[in-house]
Structure 1
Amino acid sequence: MTTTPTGGTPEYDPFIAPAPPPPMPEVGRPAPFPKPRPLSVPAKVSIVLGVVAALGLGSLAAWGISRSSGFAAVEAGKCLYLTDEAGGNQGYTTAGCTSSRATFRVDEVRTGSSDCRSADYVQFELYASSSSKRAEKTLCLALNVETGDCLRDVVHETRIAKVRCTDISAEARATVMSGSSAVCMPEDTELRYTGPPVRTVCLRPTGENI
């Protein structure tokens, strides 16, 4: 490399030396992807007429097809759990109300396709066959829980189940209060059932002092 008479570095001469490379632009850290919002505990439930479909987080819908040889008769006060059936339909299996598998209690059996007295029920329509256009009955299903019960898969009516509160899959813990004037904590999901008996179920997310 040549030097100036004073020993310094010569100034850049475009005729005798290549141009220095342009400075590299500063590259910042890539912006992180936004984290998805956590799943909410479910609860407000509503019917989809003739279609099994989730209505978004926090909603449940159910459509059953009752066949005389396939399903046991149900009446108010009995308990059951829901299952996925062939063809995208849902069925039910009866169980004792004290059984851990009994996730729903039938509060009322209504004739035809009918709204339940509270929007917090899972309305389960029963049809005579897959070709039937009109429901024969509607079951008004309430969560079959007692104070202290913990649940997993609370947004899936066919997968919801009772588990130990220490189970890693536990998502919510239930508190059951009598009457319709009971008030849940702000962080709870509140379900009001007209019964009988009239009761309010509060579902508190795990981690919220359970």
Structure 2
Amino acid sequence: MTTTPTGGTPEYDPFNAPAPMPAMPEVGPPTPFPKPPPISVLAKVSIVFGVIAALGLGSLVAWGISQSGRFATVEAGKCLYLTDEAGGGQSYTTASCSSNRATFRIDDVRPGSSECRGSDYVQFELYGSSSSKRAEKTLCLALNVDSGDCLRDVVHETRIAKVRCTDIGAEARAFVMSGSSADCLSDDTELRYIGPPARTVCLRPTGENI
């Protein structure tokens, strides 16, 4: 601060006074972004069921690969079940067709890597050894069920299993009709097998006409 010759405070000069500092605007807390509304429990359940419905029975028409080489035990009319192996392969084990463990029936055995007569078969290729690059046989596997059988894990060919219809894990009940052109209900999943015998398997969601 400057002083006058007498040591007093200078008089205020409006023409030489420094410009006042601009007033700073008041700053409040930042406005938060709006949160999306929470997903209801019903919506979450609908999403889950939507995913399941989208999967359908796709794995039932997937290609299975086995390097077991047990060709003498497989022929049309026999039954088996599939299991996963290390490395992503699959293996089969034969079982009596009347056993609950027998989830698939061999309708046809075709040479080499072959297409089955119908898109609803599981086409399961057999290789002679772990080093083989060409399939020696193809098994055409149909779901081994009778009318009234209930199933769980229907989208996994290695985990599908027959269970009591009162089981909490039961997902579908099978209805088997003669002929490969029979009609199922609109909500059923249809599996048509040329055979022999020719048949149509209707998989009905549990809770409907159970």
**Higher fraction of helix:** 2
Q: CA deviation at 1:86?
A: 2.5
Q: Name the CA distance, whole Å, in 1 between partners of 2:30 and 2:115.
A: 67
How big is each residue's C-alpha offset from its partner over 1:56-78, in whole Å with a ceiling of 9 and x where there is no partner?
A: xx75431122334xx76210000
Q: What letter matches 1:110 in structure 2? A: R
CA spacing shift, 1:24–1:128, aligned 2, 3 Å? closer
CA spacing shift, 1:31–1:87, aligned 2, 3 Å? same
Report what 2:97 is aligned to: 97
On the 8 A contact 1:42/1:59 being kept in 2, the answer is no
Report what 1:80 is aligned to: 80
Q: Name the CA distance, whole Å, in 2 between partners of 1:168 and 1:72.
A: 38
Q: CA deviation at 1:207?
A: 1.9
1:43 alignment partner, one of 32, 49, 57: 57
CA spacing shift, 1:207–1:28, aligned 2, 3 Å? farther
Q: What letter matches 1:30 in structure 2? A: P
**Which structure 2 residue ranges, 5 or more long, are not aligned?**
1-24
Report what 1:190 is aligned to: 190
Q: Name the CA distance, whole Å, in 2 between partners of 1:31 and 1:62.
A: 44
Q: CA deviation at 1:21?
A: 9.4
How big is each residue's C-alpha offset from its partner over 1:61-115, in whole Å with a ceiling of 9 and x where there is no partner?
A: 31122334xx762100000000112222100000000000000000000000000
**Which structure 1 residue ranges, 5 or more long, are not aligned?**
1-18, 45-53
1:32 alignment partner, one of 21, 26, 38: 38
RMSD: 2.4
Q: Name the CA distance, whole Å, in 1 between partners of 2:31 and 2:57.
A: 52
CA spacing shift, 1:209–1:24, aligned 2, 3 Å? farther
* Superposition pairs of residues 114-125 of structure 1, within 5 angstroms: 114-125=114-125
How big is each residue's C-alpha offset from its partner over 1:103-148, in whole Å with a ceiling of 9 and x where there is no partner?
A: 0000000000000000000000000112111100000000000000
SS at match of 2:101: coil
With structure 2 as the length reference, what TM-score do the two structures score?
0.76
Report what 2:152 is aligned to: 152
SS at match of 2:154: coil
Q: CA deviation at 1:168?
A: 0.1
Q: CA deviation at 1:20?
A: 9.9
With structure 1 as the length reference, what TM-score do the two structures score?
0.76
Report what 2:110 is aligned to: 110
Q: Name the CA distance, whole Å, in 1 between partners of 2:86 and 2:118.
A: 29
On the 8 A contact 2:181/2:192 being kept in 1, the answer is no
How big is each residue's C-alpha offset from its partner over 1:167-191, in whole Å with a ceiling of 9 and x where there is no partner?
A: 0000000000001221011100000
Q: What letter matches 2:38 in structure 1? A: P
On the 8 A contact 1:190/1:200 being kept in 2, the answer is yes
List, as ranges, runs of 4+ consecutive aligned residues in structure 1 with deviation greater than 6 Å. 19-29
Q: Name the CA distance, whole Å, in 2 between partners of 1:79 and 1:170.
A: 22
Q: Name the CA distance, whole Å, in 1 between partners of 2:143 and 2:118.
A: 13
